[in-house]
Amino acid sequence: MDFLTQYMEKEFHIHKKTQQFCANIEKEITPLFHEIDRNTEYNQAKVLRAMQKNRVSDIHFAATTGYGYNDMGRDTLEQVYADVFGAEAGLVRPQLISGTHALTVALFGNLRPGDELLSPVGKPYDTLEGVIGIRDTVGSLKEYNITYRQVDLLEDGSIDYENIKKAITSKTKMVTIQRSKGYEWRPTLSVKEIGTLIQFIKSIKPDVICMVDNCYGEFVDVIEPTEVGADLAVGSLIKNPGGGLAPIGGYIVGREQYVENSAYRLTAPGLGKEVGATLGLTQSFFQGLFLAPQVVSGSIKGAIFAAKIFESLGFEVMPHSMEKRHDIIQAIQMQNSENVIAFCQGIQKGAPVDSFVKPEPWDMPGYDCPVIMAAGSFIQGSSIELSADAPIKPPYTVFLQGGLSWHHAKMGIMIALQNMINEGRIHLKK
């Protein structure tokens, strides 16, 4: 027994049999890591060049307060984001408190009463239901007479182009495309698929605004949606692009007019991007973005590791371990609520923060059923740190994401596996 095996057994109580099982899994997936590393190197080069091009200096890390006029760091950061994403402009602010908030700002900034919003990829993530008005909520788009339509994906998860064409009308002002699966059992859309979809939509109605919910997808591929025709791409800094260092924030990048419209909604008409203090957070935003390609790489490797483990044990997973990745999320159908809870509690045990806490399902705001969330993270709610969450309803799917490093992702998943074994939920073959 080598020193690592001994340490993992002594300190984390991961049995030698479990460790050997996981070591065999790792050998099988290691050949996949070469392409991930190549993509990471490209994205790292892209971020580095954007920072060099915009002459980032320590003067850009200075804090601003109050109105935040003439914040050079903020303005430079937004141009860096625009360059990284191949966009005309960017809005990157701590005042954008989440991905849902950033999407809300972009929607309200660019839609007006009488307009229609179309989702051509089915129902959006649960927390957007209230924003749109699918679920009656005070202040929704529906209250402002902005209507909503959706076209569901086909049974095999592919895009229903025929019905999308029928759904686009003279009222269709904006199309929202959710790249990741959310809480749905469907494939994540590739950037290439998104580009083809946008091209199809624009061929029918050229002036429609195409917005992509880019959460969980940044730096997984070597291109971003704004490089294949998206007018806006929106995300959260406590997911991929914050690199685990951004303590809050969101971004909106894309065509200058639509980004500016979003800024007027975030602040006030006539003020837009000119105001908004950064309060000393700019260095974390810059440094987090710089580290993001490496952090995303670790998350992808962890997702593949988890996929291979659970498909080897007979569970349904999406995507499969050998499939090309388009986001950092790994979905695993756990078959029953007990397996879900045992897995999530194991992920919590493997966390650097609050490892002693035992998560339980509860009725979280914005969701239609009890949800369990395991997230022992440095940043509250950070989905780029190793975390897992699941709605407690059939088919009892766990959504695993994050990992600030590959090695921590691997450890956390092994601890979760051992927790399921200890509770009799899984039995490894002799």
Check residue 430 and give its pLDDT.
Answer: 59
Among the candidates 280, 314, 332, a domain finishes at 280
Same domain, 161 and 193: yes
Q: 209: closest CA among 219, 217, 201, 197?
A: 201
In a domain, 393, yes or no: yes
pLDDT in tens, 13-28: 999 999 999 999 999 9
Same domain, 215 and 138: yes
pLDDT in tens, 36-88: 999 999 999 999 999 999 999 999 999 999 999 999 999 999 999 999 999 99
Residue 182 binned pLDDT confidence (cut-offs 50, 70, 90): confident
Check residue 366 and give its pLDDT.
Answer: 64
Check residue 359 and give its pLDDT.
Answer: 95
Check residue 297 and give its pLDDT.
Answer: 98
Output the CA–CA distances (angstroms, integers) from residue 277 to 15, 36, 63, 70, in the order listed.
51, 37, 8, 9
pLDDT in tens, 117-153: 999 999 998 889 999 999 999 999 999 999 999 999 9
CATH code of the domain containing 34: 3.90.1150.60
In a domain, 418, yes or no: yes
**For residue 25, what are the domain limits?**
3-42+290-422
Mean pLDDT of 218-242: 98
Same domain, 205 and 353: no
Mean pLDDT of 161-177: 98
pTM: 0.96
pLDDT in tens, 257-270: 999 999 999 999 99
Q: How many domains does the chain have?
A: 2
Same domain, 274 and 302: no
Same domain, 204 and 321: no
Beta strand spans in 64-171 (E): 89-93, 116-119, 147-150
Order of strands across the sheet with 232-236?
89-93, 250-254, 232-236, 209-213, 172-178, 116-119, 147-150
Among the candidates 254, 280, 306, a domain finishes at 280
Same domain, 97 and 152: yes
Same domain, 104 and 244: yes
